[in-house]
Structure 1
Amino acid sequence: MPSVTRKSQSTRTQRRDDARHRLLGVVEKLLEEGESFTEISVERLVSEAGMSRSTFYVYFEDKGDLLRAWFEDITTELYGAATDWFALDASASQADLRAALDKVVKTYKPHTTLMAATYDAAAYDANVRELVEGMMTTNIAGLRKHIKTGQSGGFVDPALPAAQTAAWLQWMAERGLHQLVRTAGGAELEKLIDAYTGIVWNTLYAPTRK
């Protein structure tokens, strides 16, 4: 028989998740209407969500806490998408790389509006900024490990400095996802993925295929 305490904790978690979903829906709506996250007050959020201010503060410390709860989940999802890329080996073709990067881009694409809000919040919220920087550190470390593995295996250019190359590629991708993918759709999105694939392929893998 489940304990009352465990059931109570489960119910609270569900209520918090429901509140987060409602509030983030409001954030997305307002951002898509042209407002910035910094300008949206808690009062506005709870009003639009049909929620009391007191209920908001039961589950979240502030607007940044609302984003942090979401960001931790989405970064796990995004890193999971990147593992297909990091698992490529000497047998991988450019088409294999494109399929892996397609997964990364299309996992990110539905979340571009809230990612934009997160970057806005990171400018003034140290806790949000720490999460963003942590995400990038993790992504860079994953790619650096892949580059070193590829250099040892003979399928990544051995002349490349692994740490610096990983940092450049990941920061360029972060800006591209935020600035280019956010507004792209259809054929344009596919062209962006083609271009991303070409950059990564020619940087890492092509020199070993000659």
Structure 2
Amino acid sequence: MAKKKAEAAQKTQEVQKLRKPSPTGTPPPEQARSEVAAVLELRTLSTCPVPIHAVVNREIDRDGHREHWVLLDTATIPEPLATREEYRLRTSIEERHRQLKCFSDLAGFTSRRFSLVVNQVVFVLLMYSLLQWYWQRIRRPEFNPRTTARALDQLRPTMSVILIFYQGYVARLAPLEYQELLLTLKEEARLKILAKTRRLRRGLSHQLDHARAP
């Protein structure tokens, strides 16, 4: 019993020690924080014809270390915290640009004709934008930072099925189910399907030999 009381008293002293303000002004670990303040109408840059507004940020870590950094903007800053939150978009935008520049294979296009280079760049940019829009539409934003090749892997089918239509009915079969169905047919039905399959194969075997654009 006395041992439990001693342990409880020790824990109480530790908690009080953490809550006690530090004489050097260093915040305790649980008070690590960020502070922001706006400074408006800066005209210290002589080459800038418009006033500059700044958001001064001070980061205080758990050890009391302070680090300052500043955001500059030509737009009015009504709320410094909102401007700081908006700045978080920068990392996402830069990551998308990195994916575009590093993984869209623009460097692999070797044509020296300017018009073809322009077309290649435009179509790559268009494809990238459409992919970004598609991820947002299907509510899968986690695909945004992935490479184009890796993202397209997610669109490939993960299973194969065989659909059989007959007189308004449809059967959805896995390939092995379809194979089992064929192997268990009676001889007369199996021969009819075999003959039909051979006719279709002969009729379709040369359909794409001289395919032309519509």
Both proteins in one fold, TM over 0.5: no
Higher helix share: 1
Higher strand share: 2
- Higher relative contact order by CA 8 Å / sep ≥ 6: 1 or 2? 1
Q: TM-score range by the shorter chain?
A: under 0.3
Higher-Rg member (1/2): 2
Q: TM-score, normalization: structure 2?
A: 0.24
Q: TM-score, normalization: structure 1?
A: 0.24
